[in-house]
């Protein structure tokens, strides 16, 4: 279980779970700036550069990775692996929304949206409404930063400032969500920050709000031993001292919940009125040519997430 989390903790974009959204956006920014990027997120760099005091901003940049490679080639491969994973994950869920829109769905909910910019960068059909749910300070930062730079959403974007551990269904409906309309839901970069019981409750709430024809996509929580995490943390600290790079401000291992009783997402959905399929993220990385063969041997397929898609 997490040692830094409490049942009523909160955060802004530069602290706790909120700061991990900066890491994810930094990975999207670094990927988008490669000569042949897998994804294009024109707003990721803008969102990352507005946050000060964090080390996530440059950790996955190619020049930093090159410095690491001079000292530890395997560690450099791990850094590229981290960036590649975020690119593949973004690519997969972008496609999920494109397919949902092509199927006629015009109501979208992004759970724990963080610095997700899909409401601004995807080509949404006319009449699409995108609801973003997250902590108030996280949503405030993103909206203010994009508005300040003249960036307007590509669909009607409705922010719902609510902690997902509380009565977010009521807040969502109060914001104009229509449970009678098919909805495309996304739980990306979320489930690992919830205990198993909270994960079940989240999907129960989603099910109660989902009309026939609704779809959901989710990234499951990967499994990595505590010993493995401790080894990687020690290795990175030594590397940081040698190369002169900043240590991450937050230890993600201290934020996530390693719940041995966590339900298998695809199995749970299939047992609760959905038809779900699961795809190992490692298989998708290999399919897209983004698997690093130099990844440390301890990072096997179980350490990575599974992408689950289901239809009501």
pLDDT value for 252: 57
Q: Across-strand partners of 160?
A: 133
Mean pLDDT of 79-85: 86
Nearest-angstrom CA–CA distance, 138 and 74: 34
- pLDDT of 131 strictly over 60: yes
For residue 304, count other CB atoms closer than 10 A to its CB. Answer: 23
Nearest-angstrom CA–CA distance, 251 and 245: 16
pLDDT value for 4: 47
Q: What is the percentage of the chain residues whose pLDDT exceeds 70?
A: 78
For residue 21, count other CB atoms closer than 10 A to its CB. Answer: 27
For 18-40, write each residue's pLDDT tens digit.
Answer: 577 888 998 999 999 999 999 99
Q: Across-strand partners of 184?
A: 108, 215
For 190-212, write each residue's pLDDT tens digit.
Answer: 998 888 999 999 999 999 999 99
Nearest-angstrom CA–CA distance, 238 and 21: 25
| Cβ atoms of 263 and 199 closer than 8 Å | yes
Ranking 43-57, 137-151, 175-189 by mean pLDDT, the lowest is 43-57
Q: Across-strand partners of 278?
A: 308
Average pLDDT, the chain: 85
Residues 6+ apart with CB under 8 A from 38: 31, 87, 88, 90, 91, 288, 290
Nearest-angstrom CA–CA distance, 156 and 63: 38
pLDDT value for 81: 84
Please tell me which residue, 264 or 61, carries the higher pLDDT value: 264
For residue 28, count other CB atoms closer than 10 A to its CB. Answer: 29
Mean pLDDT of 258-268: 90
- pLDDT of 7 strictly over 80: no
Q: In this structure, are strands 215-219 and 129-134 parallel, antiparallel, or unpaired?
A: unpaired
- pLDDT of 11 strictly over 50: no
When pLDDT is cut at 50, 70 and 90, the band that residue 224 belongs to is low
pTM value is 0.87
For residue 146, count other CB atoms closer than 10 A to its CB. Answer: 21
For the beta sheet containing 156-161, the strands, ordered from the edge strand earlier in sequence to the opposite edge, are 156-161, 129-134, 107-111, 184-187, 215-219, 306-311, 275-280
Q: Copy the structure tokens of residue 187.
A: 């739980």
3-class DSSP assignment, residue 122: coil
CATH number, span 17-294+302-311: 3.40.50.150
Q: What are phi and psi of 298, to 5 degrees?
A: -70, -15
When pLDDT is cut at 50, 70 and 90, the band that residue 235 belongs to is low
3-class DSSP assignment, residue 130: strand
- pLDDT of 53 strictly over 50: yes
- pLDDT of 64 strictly over 70: yes
- pLDDT of 6 strictly over 70: no
pLDDT value for 194: 87
Q: Which residue has the tokens 């990175």?
A: 236
pLDDT value for 193: 86
For the chain, give every domain's residue range.
17-294+302-311
- pLDDT of 166 strictly over 90: no
pLDDT value for 2: 42
Q: What is the percentage of the chain residues whose pLDDT exceeds 90?
A: 60
pLDDT value for 8: 54
- pLDDT of 157 strictly over 90: yes
E-strand spans in 100-193?
A: 107-111, 129-134, 156-161, 184-187
- pLDDT of 232 strictly over 80: no
Nearest-angstrom CA–CA distance, 36 and 297: 27
């Amino acid at each position: 279980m997490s040692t830094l989390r409490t049942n009523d903790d909160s955060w802004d974009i530069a602290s706790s779970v909120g700061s991990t959204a900066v890491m994810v956006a930094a990975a999207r920014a670094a990927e988008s700036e490669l000569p042949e990027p897998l994804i294009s997120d024109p707003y990721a760099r803008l969102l990352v550069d507005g946050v000060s005091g964090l080390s996530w901003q440059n950790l996955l940049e190619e020049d930093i990775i090159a410095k690491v490679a001079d000292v530890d080639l395997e560690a450099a491969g791990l850094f590229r692996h981290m960036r590649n994973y975020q690119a593949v994950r973004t690519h997969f869920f972008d496609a999920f929304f494109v397919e949902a829109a092509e199927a006629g769905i015009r109501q979208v909910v992004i759970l724990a949206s963080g610095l997700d910019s899909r409401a601004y960068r995807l080509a949404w059909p006319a009449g699409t409404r995108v609801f973003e749910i997250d902590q108030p300070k996280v949503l405030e930062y993103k909206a203010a930063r994009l508005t300040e730079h003249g960036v307007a959403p590509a669909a009607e974007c409705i922010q719902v400032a609510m902690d997902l551990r509380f009565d977010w269904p009521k807040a969502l409906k109060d914001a104009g969500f229509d449970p009678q309309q098919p909805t495309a839901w996304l739980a990306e970069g979320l489930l690992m920050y919830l205990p198993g019981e909270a994960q079940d409750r989240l999907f129960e709430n989603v099910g109660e709000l989902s009309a026939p024809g609704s779809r959901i996509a989710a990234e499951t929580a990967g499994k990595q031993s505590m010993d493995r995490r401790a080894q990687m943390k020690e290795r990175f600290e030594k590397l940081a001292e040698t190369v002169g790079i900043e240590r991450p401000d937050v230890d993600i291992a201290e934020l996530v919940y390693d719940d041995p009783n966590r339900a298998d997402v695809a199995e749970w959905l299939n047992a609760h009125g959905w038809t779900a399929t699961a795809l190992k993220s490692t298989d998708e990385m290999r399919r897209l040519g983004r698997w690093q063969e130099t990844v440390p041997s301890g990072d096997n397929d179980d350490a990575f997430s599974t992408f689950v898609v289901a239809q009501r």
